[in-house]
Amino acid sequence: MTHPLARALVGCWLLNEGTGNRVMDLGPFRQHGDFQGGPPLWKPGRHGPSVEFDGIDECIHCGTRKFGWDVTNEVSVIALANHGASANPYTIFGRGQFREPVSLMGQSPGLFYWRVRTTESGVKSLTSTSSHATDGTEWVHVAGTWKQNASRLYVNGVEEASDLTVSGTLSVTDDQSAGIGGIYQGGSYSNIWIGRIGYVLIYNRALGPSEVEWLSREPFAMFEYPGRSAFAVAAGASVSLAGSVDSTSAASARLRSIGWAPEIEQKWRLDALFNGMTANALKLGTTLTLGWFWVRVGGCSALYRGPRMEGIDFESILAVAEKNAPEISPPAYLPHNDLSTYFYAVRQFNPCGYQELTLGAAAKVSLNAQGELARPQPNEVFALSAERRDGNRIRLTWFYCPLEQDSQPARFNIYCDNGAGQIDYDNPIGAVGYEGQRFYTYESDTLQTGRYLFAVRAEDLAGSENVSVDCLAIEISGAAPDAITILEAGTA
């Protein structure tokens, strides 16, 4: 992670699994937690599933790793919890064996406290000044931070207590177990939490007041990226559609900086505003977490469509497939009209729900009058024009752009009606080889006076020719225009 709120994050349990006997640690040490005591009780929380503790024997054991606290000797513990029936004391998160270096706990009536044990100051406790509901109805963001001579307790992003005299080093040893919902003492967990816990975060540094307040407002802000440099809009990607459509986009590639837009990159997070009950959330599977958490840990691919490349609707997901699936099919209800062209694009989500913003996998699908796939063909020529040259010759000029083409041209065929009024598309009068995106010219033979029709069509190596019916009409007159005689010129 590169977000500033992710710096020195060493433990991250989102408690959003919703089932099973294990919770995953997203931090670098992967201290996954296993349930101890009775079976886990998964209950709805503020941001999806949460774990409910009974105050008797249920807790989560997260191993004995030091989490790096003995390196910088700073620590922050962040949690979202609600009080159940009153008890005193009970643990949200703690480390212990026979000594407890840190613990974040609850206290009657509806209070929170933060306790630190150091080699010089011994045990130092801070108690919140605000009191909260003890019937499980009020979710509270609580944070404890410590570094040399500064221990602080925050509730809902506001500092409520501090002690600036806590000196020494944390009393951390290798055999101290980390627990969520309980603290390990004398061979078993005790001081079991009564109520629910939504998530627990551990930092190897003391967060500042603004960072704690930020996490209180946006608890998952750390999963956003603050910036991104550039993306390559690539060419030549192939995507299989509906099991039989296999088209290739051969748009010319170029590198451009498009900036980073988290509101587009993680658009699925907005589904939480609708409790995850949106069409996109249903396809991505985030309805299981009410739109708050990403569930496809292996990543996935999403299919989009539009009438043109720049008009692809990236707001609406048509279909989702596994990340490495060889095919992805549009839904059966989607219309594909005769004589129509559609542009499809596939974008991948990574295991954390970040979506790429490229057009690397795009396909142009054209249907003929019979509703069948039209043969791939080059684009139409652009800006066809003509000028008269000496000797009654016509010089044609046109431009070709390969963007969004189905196949690359091999040549340009030039057709003419020879003054008959009907262009003979079976017999070209000339050809010009393809040399990429540029202007092309062709000069005709000497023509007689009269009216002529010209057309230029691109043809690929397979012999598939663009079927544009656009043509250019040229009038060649043998009579010279009448001369203008200037009788007199002067000033008025």
CB count within 10 Å of CB 188 equals 11
Q: Which amino acid is it at 51?
A: V
Q: Give CA separation, 165 vs 71, 151, 283, 332, in Å.
A: 21, 8, 54, 69
User: Over pLDDT 90: what percentage of the chain?
Assistant: 22
Residue 331 pLDDT > 90: no
Mean pLDDT value across residues 386-398 = 86
CA 12 – CA 5 distance, rounded (Å):
12
Per the CB < 8 A criterion, the answer to whether 181 and 53 are in contact is yes
pLDDT at 219: 85
CA 459 – CA 446 distance, rounded (Å):
26
CA 349 – CA 284 distance, rounded (Å):
10
pLDDT at 378: 83
Classify the C-alpha dihedral 282-288-294-295 as positive or negative: negative
| The most confident of 263-267, 346-350, 404-408, by mean pLDDT | 346-350
Give the model's confidence band at 482: pLDDT under 50 very low, under 70 low, under 90 confident, else very high: low
Q: Give CA separation, 149 vs 129, 146, 155, 469, in Å.
A: 21, 8, 20, 82
pLDDT at 98: 61
Per the CB < 8 A criterion, the answer to whether 346 and 319 are in contact is no
- For the CA atoms of 351, 357, 363, 365, the dihedral, rounded to the nearest 10 degrees, stands at 100
Q: Is the peptide bond before 89 cis (omega within 30 degrees of 0)?
A: yes
Give the model's confidence band at 261: pLDDT under 50 very low, under 70 low, under 90 confident, else very high: very low
Q: Which residues pair with 4 in a beta bridge?
A: none
Q: Higher confidence at residue 50 or residue 275?
A: 50
136 burial class (0-12, 13-18, 19+ CB within 10 angstroms)?
A: middle
Lowest model confidence (mean pLDDT) among 10-24, 85-99, 443-457: 85-99
User: Distance between alpha carbon 248 and the CA centroid of its chain, in Å?
Assistant: 24
Joined tokens for residue 446: 């000497």
pLDDT at 14: 92
Q: Which amino acid is it at 30?
A: R
Q: Which residues contact 185 (CB under 8 A, 6 or more apart)?
A: 96, 97, 98, 100, 191
Q: Which residues contact 276 (CB under 8 A, 6 or more apart)?
A: 286, 287, 288, 289, 290, 291, 292
Q: At 52, give phi and psi (nearest 5°).
A: -105, 130
pLDDT at 393: 87
Of 80, 122, 123, 129, whose CA–CA distance to 107 is shortest?
A: 129
Joined tokens for residue 8: 């020195």
Q: Higher confidence at residue 19 or residue 488?
A: 19
- DSSP summary character for residue 69: H
Which is it for strands 319-322 and 341-349: parallel, antiparallel or unpaired? unpaired
CA 356 – CA 488 distance, rounded (Å):
74
Of 399, 398, 421, whose CA–CA distance to 475 is shortest?
A: 421
CA 205 – CA 72 distance, rounded (Å):
7
Give the model's confidence band at 233: pLDDT under 50 very low, under 70 low, under 90 confident, else very high: very low
Q: Which residues pair with 366 in a beta bridge?
A: 341
Q: Which residues pair with 386 in a beta bridge?
A: 396
CA 140 – CA 152 distance, rounded (Å):
16
For the chain, give me the number of helices (H) and strands (E)? 4, 33
Q: Strands, E, within 156-242: which ranges?
A: 158-163, 177-180, 183-185, 188-190, 194-203, 231-233, 238-241
Q: Higher confidence at residue 254 or residue 201?
A: 201
Helices (H), 116-177: none
CB count within 10 Å of CB 26 equals 17
277 burial class (0-12, 13-18, 19+ CB within 10 angstroms)?
A: exposed
For the chain, domains (ranges, CATH) are 4-223 (2.60.120.200), 231-366 (2.60.40), 382-476 (2.60.40.2060)
What's the pTM value of the predicted model, to 2 decimals? 0.49
CA 420 – CA 451 distance, rounded (Å):
9
pLDDT at 235: 28
Q: Strands, E, within 63-149: which ranges?
A: 75-83, 90-96, 102-107, 111-118, 122-127, 140-147
Q: What are 123-168's pLDDT values in tens digits?
A: 899 999 999 998 888 999 999 999 888 999 999 999 999 999 888 8
Find the largest Cα–Cα distance for the chain.
Answer: 122
Residue 61 pLDDT > 60: yes
